[in-house]
């Protein structure tokens, strides 16, 4: 294995920024994260806050938010999301997250799998079994997390198909025919968008498009660095800023729905199965409870007709379901406080 990092990628000026991420080459070839002591795969999502900020200050009528929005929790990049700190492992992370969910009687949560992490990694294999034994589900997130903007529809479809044998083996009789697009990229041209969507439909997949995303995984790398440096004050700031950012973008996502769809819709929230999530999940669920959120299953949420509708647009850099409509229909974004991206990137360096 060799070490490499890809520079942040920008689209259309500062519109969308993809994280540094560290998979290169053909299927199954990885580079390793050199910044943390424990080298592991980083499968991040690009941020979309730059775009939102560009559109700040556009006047819009405020409609009150609903009191009890529905939300299905989903976790991406199983079984190896983000870096590990020394001594940590995937089994501990999976165990702690599922214990927290079960303590709140939350079951059937979908975790989206990149099976490339499974062969030869007993820790990752066991972590995925723990997830399933706890009553959770798994879906397809492609074999090795390619960005659809970067590859052809045909190559992308091969990546989805390649994920299937291991998914089927682990899921057994459970329904694993749910798909989450890596980086939330659904195709930068209409043609590509429709080609992959058609393939998914022909292969009996349902698409788990999130409506809510606060880039939770942006906190994992700084957290891993601060643990290595034993910087308690920095970790406190990470915890606090994570919750602030979550609360902010849970609101923003719902306001985006009002603009995109004329109403709030039952939600799908994107989270990642990282070490930092184990630390923050109890408080995050508490904040969501305070905001009136009711946890529901993905299949229940996606009974809403909005999920059967095709955004039918090529959107460079992708985004959540409301983002797809706002971008392609040139609708305004709500005001928002930006994610503290610079501080996250520089903290504990
Ligand atoms: Zn992902």
Which tens digits make up the pLDDT trace of 266-322? Answer: 999 999 999 999 999 999 999 999 999 999 999 999 999 999 999 999 999 999 999
Contact 211, 268 (CB under 8 A): yes
Q: Can you read off the two tokens belonging to residue 232?
A: 């308690």
Radius of gyration of the chain (CA): 19
β pairing state of 9-11 and 16-18? antiparallel
CA 145 to ligand 1 centroid distance, Å: 6
CA 60 to ligand 1 centroid distance, Å: 32
Residue 117 burial (CB < 10 Å; 0-12/13-18/19+)? buried
DSSP per-residue string spanning 31-73? EE--SSSB--------B-HHHHHHTTT------PPPSS-EEEE
Residue 62, pLDDT score: 74
Whether this model's pTM surpasses 0.95 = no
CA 63 to ligand 1 centroid distance, Å: 32
What domains, with CATH codes, occur in the chain? Answer: 60-346 (3.20.20.370)
What is the DSSP code (8-state) at residue 271? Answer: E
Q: Where are the alpha helices (DSSP H) in 291-330?
A: 298-301, 321-328
Return d(Cα 8, Cα 124) in angstroms, integer: 27
Residue pLDDT, tens place only, 64-76: 999 999 999 999 9
Residue 61, pLDDT score: 63
CA 43 to ligand 1 centroid distance, Å: 6
Q: What percent of the chain has pLDDT over 70?
A: 83
CA 142 to ligand 1 centroid distance, Å: 9
Contact 341, 16 (CB under 8 A): no
Region 129-144: what's the mean pLDDT? Answer: 98
CA 81 to ligand 1 centroid distance, Å: 8
Residue 58, pLDDT score: 52
């Amino acid at each position: 294995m060799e070490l490499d990092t890809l520079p942040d990628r920008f689209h259309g000026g500062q519109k969308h920024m993809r994280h540094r991420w560290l998979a290169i080459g053909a299927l199954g070839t990885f580079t390793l994260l050199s910044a943390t002591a424990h080298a592991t795969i980083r499968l991040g999502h690009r941020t979309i806050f730059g775009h939102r900020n560009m559109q700040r200050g556009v006047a819009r009528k405020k409609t009150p938010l609903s009191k009890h929005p529905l939300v299905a929790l989903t976790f991406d990049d199983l079984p190896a999301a983000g870096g590990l700190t020394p001594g940590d492992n995937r089994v501990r992370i999976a165990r702690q997250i599922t214990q927290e969910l079960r303590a709140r009687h939350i079951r059937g949560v979908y975790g989206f799998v990149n099976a490339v992490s499974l062969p030869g990694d007993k820790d990752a294999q066991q972590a995925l079994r723990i997830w399933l034994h706890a009553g959770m589900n798994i879906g397809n997130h492609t074999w090795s997390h390619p960005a659809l903007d970067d590859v052809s529809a045909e190559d992308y479809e091969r990546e989805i198909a390649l994920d299937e044998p291991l998914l089927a083996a682990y899921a057994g009789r459970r329904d694993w025919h749910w798909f989450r697009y890596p980086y939330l990229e659904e195709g930068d041209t209409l043609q590509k968008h429709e080609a992959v969507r058609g393939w998914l439909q022909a292969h009996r997949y349902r698409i788990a498009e999130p409506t809510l995303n606060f880039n939770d995984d942006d906190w994992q790398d700084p957290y891993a660095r601060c643990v290595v440096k034993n910087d308690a004050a920095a970790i406190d700031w990470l915890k606090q800023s994570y919750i602030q950012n979550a609360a902010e973008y849970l609101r923003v996502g719902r306001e985006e729905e009002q603009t995109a769809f004329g109403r709030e819709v039952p939600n799908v929230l994107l989270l990642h199965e990282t070490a930092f999530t184990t630390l923050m999940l109890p408080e995050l669920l508490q904040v969501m409870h305070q905001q009136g959120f009711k946890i529901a299953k993905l299949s229940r949420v996606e009974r809403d007709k909005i999920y059967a509708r095709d955004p039918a647009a090529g959107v460079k850099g992708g985004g959540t379901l409301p983002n797809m409509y706002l971008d392609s229909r040139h609708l305004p974004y709500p005001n928002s406080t930006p994610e503290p991206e610079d501080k996250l990137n520089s903290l504990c360096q």
